[in-house]
Amino acid sequence: MPPSLGVRVLCRPEIATGFALAGLRPVEAASARDAAERLRDLFAASDIGVVLIEEGFYDALPGDLRREVGRRAVPMVVPFPEPARVPPGEEAETYIVELLGQVIGYRVRLK
């Protein structure tokens, strides 16, 4: 049986702790340039199958690195949206109703 490949999360230090608490191994980057260097390091590792990368970092990758991402089968590089705060004045209930609507496909009303 072949060895299993790991998952790494390339993200800002501010959110790395959340991923670590979820059992994933974050790789921290303070800037887009730093993220590009970390991604190159991850490409050199033979035990990584998936790299989750913050969308902002992914969008800022240099062209040559983007092309390399497109050519590689492993590790698979998957961008994820950056965390967003609920806009000021928007109640938590409204946010929850919106989220439920997206997940189950129709609007619900909380009582």
User: Is position 37 within any domain?
Assistant: yes
Measure the CA–CA gap between 86 and 66, rounded to whole angstroms: 31
Same domain for 62 and 90, yes or no, is no
Comparison of pLDDT for 94 and 64, the residue scoring more? 64
Write down the pTM of the prediction. 0.73
Domain that includes residue 65, residue range:
6-80
Same domain for 93 and 41, yes or no, is no
Beta-sheet pairing, 25-28 with 76-80: unpaired
Same domain for 59 and 19, yes or no, is yes
In this model, does residue 51 exceed pLDDT 90?
A: yes
Counting residues of the chain whose pLDDT is more than 90, the rounded percentage is 65
Provide the pLDDT for residue 87. 63
Same domain for 90 and 58, yes or no, is no
User: Is position 22 within any domain?
Assistant: yes
User: Is position 1 within any domain?
Assistant: no
In this model, does residue 1 exceed pLDDT 50?
A: no
Same domain for 68 and 94, yes or no, is no
Strand partners, 61: none
The domain tally of the chain equals: 2
In this model, does residue 92 exceed pLDDT 50?
A: yes
Region 17-38 average pLDDT: 95
Region 12-26 average pLDDT: 94
